[in-house]
């Protein structure tokens, strides 16, 4: 019995395709199959080979399985592994902040960690440090699920939390055992530095969606299992991971993906909800000139992010000064991430009622960076646009062009492109007038 192909493959079958395109289509069901069975396929007991860690993740490949590698890289694209770690740490800090009195905590301190900490698997450090209001009693090392604590006579005022992410497989997804092994490894080696002898290591298996913890400390102030279960359920970064896995397996969630802006749904721009256009076309701009030897070189000039509300005409113009690019590489890519970072910063600075419900990006390359930076705003819909909107032309308006070029530092400027038109015409007409 042949597995039924998805609608996309079926529809493509009858199109005029080159041989390469047609053989590419055959790979889709293979890739789906490999990803589905990956915990059974990609494991040490099957491939007796040298294990290789997948870039920017804590996943170990036990054999050369290119189709699976492609799927996993796609799922964890745009630093998702690191973002999941950061997001869970932030959620935990919030849980502790809400329970300060109940857990007798004086302060919750988020530690500064190396960006690669989440996938550095041979040593570790604390993510969060708790300081006691008084003193906590210390128990012998135990799993968080153990109800019988054996108390030592010692007390402590510092308690650390270390979050460890892993990608389990069919043979090794005993998360309790993993948490215990990692705790004992890291607290006894010479490379891991913890700020006190008492703490907890929380292990999370992203492949099997399991979590456990191993700790020394007092059960009551450690960390409520219910809090961790809630984070596992509601954390926005884990939601992005699940969505991407569903997409990779072509198990689509009940909510349909947002259609791109097109001439059919153009009218939705002017509904009551706040919608923003984000245009990153002019963020990284260069001038080209000839050197003395006759070679062409580029030199960055000031650019700008256009964030525009089509209903009110409000324009947030974020000027990106050339100093941002100093000493950086791969500037085209960096510009996208910089744009996403600035959009997220702007949203955070606004009161809830002024935050957008929808963001439409003019270039598809912005979808991933925005998805990652807006993890804290899971209700904001991010979608692309099939319409070519002439935001670049704004730079030809002298007032904008000069303002951007002459800026000596990054700055945010507010304008209203509709002036006072909305007194006499609708926002639909005003927007049409602007785009013309």
pLDDT, one tens digit per residue, over 64-73 is 888 899 999 9
Distances in whole angstroms, Cα of residue 57 to Cα of each of 46, 75, 82: 21, 11, 8
Distances in whole angstroms, Cα of residue 37 to Cα of each of 1, 52, 394, 409: 18, 19, 51, 52
Q: What is the pTM of this model?
A: 0.72
Lowest mean pLDDT among 65-79, 146-160, 182-196, 277-291: 146-160
pLDDT, one tens digit per residue, over 84-112 is 999 999 999 998 988 888 888 889 999 99
Q: What is the pLDDT of residue 225?
A: 63
When pLDDT is cut at 50, 70 and 90, the band that residue 3 belongs to is very low
207 within 8 A of 169, measured Cβ to Cβ: yes
Q: What is the pLDDT of residue 209?
A: 93
Question: Taking the CB of residue 51, how many other CB atoms lie within 10 A of it?
Answer: 11
168's tokens: 């389990």
Lowest mean pLDDT among 21-25, 164-168, 226-230, 316-320: 21-25
pLDDT, one tens digit per residue, over 389-414 is 777 777 777 778 888 888 888 989 88
Distances in whole angstroms, Cα of residue 117 to Cα of each of 111, 123, 172: 12, 9, 22
Q: Which residue has the higher pLDDT, 314 or 166?
A: 166
Checking if the pLDDT of 83 tops 80, the result is yes
Residues 6+ apart with CB under 8 A from 191: 122, 123
Q: What is the mean pLDDT of the chain?
A: 84
3-state secondary structure 10-73: HHHHCCCCCHHHHHHHHHHHHHHHHHHCHHHHCCCCCCCCCCEECCCCCCEECCCCHHHHHHHH
Instruction: Give the residue extent of every domain in the chain.
Output: 20-75, 80-249, 266-435
CATH of 266-435 among 3.40.50.1820, 3.30.420.230, 3.40.640.10, 3.40.50.150: 3.30.420.230
Rounded Cα distance, 162 and 308, in Å: 41
Q: What is the pLDDT of residue 272?
A: 83
Q: What is the pLDDT of residue 2?
A: 43
Nearest CA to 223 among 195, 209, 242, 204?
A: 204
Question: Residue 404 phi/psi, 5° resolution?
Answer: -70, -50
CATH of 80-249 among 3.30.200.20, 3.20.20.70, 3.90.1520.10, 3.90.1570.40: 3.90.1570.40
């Amino acid at each position: 019995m042949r597995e039924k192909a998805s609608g996309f493959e079926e529809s493509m079958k009858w199109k005029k395709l080159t041989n390469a395109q047609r053989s590419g289509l055959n790979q889709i069901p293979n890739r789906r199959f490999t990803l589905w069975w990956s915990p059974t396929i990609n494991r040490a007991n099957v491939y007796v080979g040298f294990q290789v860690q997948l870039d920017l993740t804590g996943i170990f490949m036990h054999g050369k399985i290119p189709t699976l590698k492609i799927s996993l890289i796609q799922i964890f694209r745009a630093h998702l592994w690191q973002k999941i770690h950061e997001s869970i740490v932030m959620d935990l800090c919030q849980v502790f902040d809400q329970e300060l009195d109940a857990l007798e905590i004086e302060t919750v301190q988020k530690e500064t960690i190396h960006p690669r900490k989440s996938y550095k698997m041979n040593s570790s450090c604390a993510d969060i440090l708790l300081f006691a209001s008084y003193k906590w009693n210390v128990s012998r090392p135990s799993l968080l699920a153990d109800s019988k604590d054996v108390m030592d006579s010692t007390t402590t005022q510092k308690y650390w939390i270390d979050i460890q992410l892993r990608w389990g497989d069919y043979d090794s997804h005993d998360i309790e055992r993993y948490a215990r092994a990692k705790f004992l490894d890291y607290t006894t080696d010479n490379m891991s530095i913890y700020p006190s002898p008492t703490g907890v290591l929380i292990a999370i298996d992203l492949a099997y969606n399991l979590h456990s913890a191993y700790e020394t400390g007092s059960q009551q102030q450690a960390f409520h299992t219910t809090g961790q279960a809630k984070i596992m359920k509601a954390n926005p970064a884990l939601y992005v991971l699940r969505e991407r896995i569903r997409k990779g397996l072509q198990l689509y969630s009940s909510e349909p993906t947002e259609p791109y802006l097109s001439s059919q749904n153009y009218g939705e721009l002017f509904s009551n909800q706040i919608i923003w256009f984000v245009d990153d076309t002019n963020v990284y701009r260069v001038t080209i000139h000839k050197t003395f030897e006759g070679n062409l070189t580029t030199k960055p000039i000031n650019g700008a992010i256009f964030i525009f509300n089509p209903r009110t005409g409000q324009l947030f113009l974020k000027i990106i000064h050339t100093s941002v690019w100093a000493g950086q590489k791969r500037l085209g890519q960096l510009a996208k991430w910089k744009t996403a970072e600035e959009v997220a910063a702007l949203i955070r600075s606004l009161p809830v009622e002024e935050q957008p419900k929808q963001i439409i990006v003019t270039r598809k390359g912005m979808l991933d960076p925005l998805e990652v930076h807006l993890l804290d705003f899971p209700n904001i819909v991010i979608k692309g646009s099939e319409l070519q909107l002439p935001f670049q032309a704004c730079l030809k308006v002298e007032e904008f062009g000069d303002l951007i070029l002459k800026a000596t530092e990054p700055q945010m400027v507010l304008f209203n492109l509709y002036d006072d038109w909305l007194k006499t015409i609708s926002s639909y007409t005003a927007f049409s007038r602007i785009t013309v």
